[in-house]
Amino acid sequence: MKREPTMDIPVDLVPYARRVALRDVDIFYYAAGSTNLPPLLLLHGLGDEADTWRSVIPPLSQMYRVIAPDLPGFGRSSGPKGGYSLTFFARTMAEFITTLQLQQITLVGHSMGAMIAQRLSIGLPHLIQQQILISGCLPVKRRIPPRQWWSLLIPGLGELVMASMRRSQELAFLSLQPFYYSLYDLPARERRFLRRRVWKRLHHPLQRRATLSALRWLAIDAFFRAEQYLDLVSECQTPTVLISGDHDVIVDGELIESMEVVLEGRAQYIYLSRCGHMPQQEQPDLICELIGGLSPAVSAVDLELEGEPLDCV
């Protein structure tokens, strides 16, 4: 299998780097923590890689066997020449779970990864103990894609838009601003990492193609398959935690509120203040607290950190 150009591995994550060959793709992933601990599977979002979890993998590995893959087509994983639909991602991750022989999984997904997590919970309920969905969920109401997506959805034009962002590294870095509550308030080390990484993404042909293909399939799903997802989600019994930031302009908060209603008491909704679309990067300590301490039985009254209650609805 021909290998596409790969991205570097952050120095502090090198000891956890692994690779496994599946039927059609090679998957790069991080594995941290004892195999005797309960498995925690972390799924990143669109256009990202497993490195999005870099600040939470080491601390969570004290409580879980943490597994964080690059989704196929992203980061250091290989990918097919075909379309990158939710069905494709879910089937590939189901094969990944089977290959690693994971059971009783706590499944955490961010953005598109949250959508994949829900597909897995629906398809593999016997393997998923609970799911934590950060900044995303399956569409359960028909929606027109957000205006900021439109230029990227048109074949040819989307490729030109991404090419235009390669004019300068500063322009590429600025494209990240909508994803954060305050990009320039991130720690300097984090900003340096993101500046280098977004530049590499834009020069990685496989990841560019996977990003645009996945985005276009998500738009199709949101408009044409919402009713089907509504039926599937309504039948899913997996305990669920929904987490979103109050300044997330990428995912409409109404979508997540609708998901809470559909789940009818099977979900907790945790609302993070002063946070955008990337809680695992913006508030990693809080995310570690939540993932490490939440169980389906925890009530909103119990969700207190350092004496300050979280905004829960």
CB 107 within 8 A of CB 39: no
CB 42 within 8 A of CB 53: yes
Dihedral sign from CA coordinates of 147, 148, 153, 154: positive
* pLDDT exceeds 90 at position 244: yes
pLDDT digits (tens, 9 = 90+) for 210-236: 999 999 999 999 989 999 999 999 988
The whole-angstrom separation of Cα 133 and Cα 94 is: 17
* pLDDT exceeds 70 at position 297: no
Measuring CA to CA, how many Å separate 7 from each of 75, 151, 210, 270?
6, 27, 15, 33
pLDDT digits (tens, 9 = 90+) for 255-283: 898 898 999 888 999 999 999 999 999 99
Q: Where are the alpha helices (DSSP H) in 39-187?
A: 57-60, 86-99, 112-123, 150-153, 157-164, 169-174
Contacts of 36 (CB under 8 A, 6+ apart): 65
Residue 187, class by beta-carbon neighbours within 10 Å (0-12 exposed, 13-18 middle, 19+ buried)?
exposed
Q: What is the pLDDT of residue 294?
A: 59
Number of neighbours of residue 295 by Cβ within 10 angstroms: 12
* pLDDT exceeds 90 at position 195: yes
CB 257 within 8 A of CB 177: no
Q: Where are the domains of the chain?
A: 11-312
Taking residues 289-304, report their average pLDDT: 53
* pLDDT exceeds 50 at position 295: no
3-state SS class at 271: strand
Q: What is the pLDDT of residue 165?
A: 87
Q: Which residue from 294, 296, 288 is spatially nearest to 66, judged by alpha carbons? A: 288
Q: Which CATH class is domain 11-312?
A: alpha beta
pLDDT digits (tens, 9 = 90+) for 52-103: 999 999 999 999 999 999 999 999 999 998 899 999 999 999 999 999 999 9
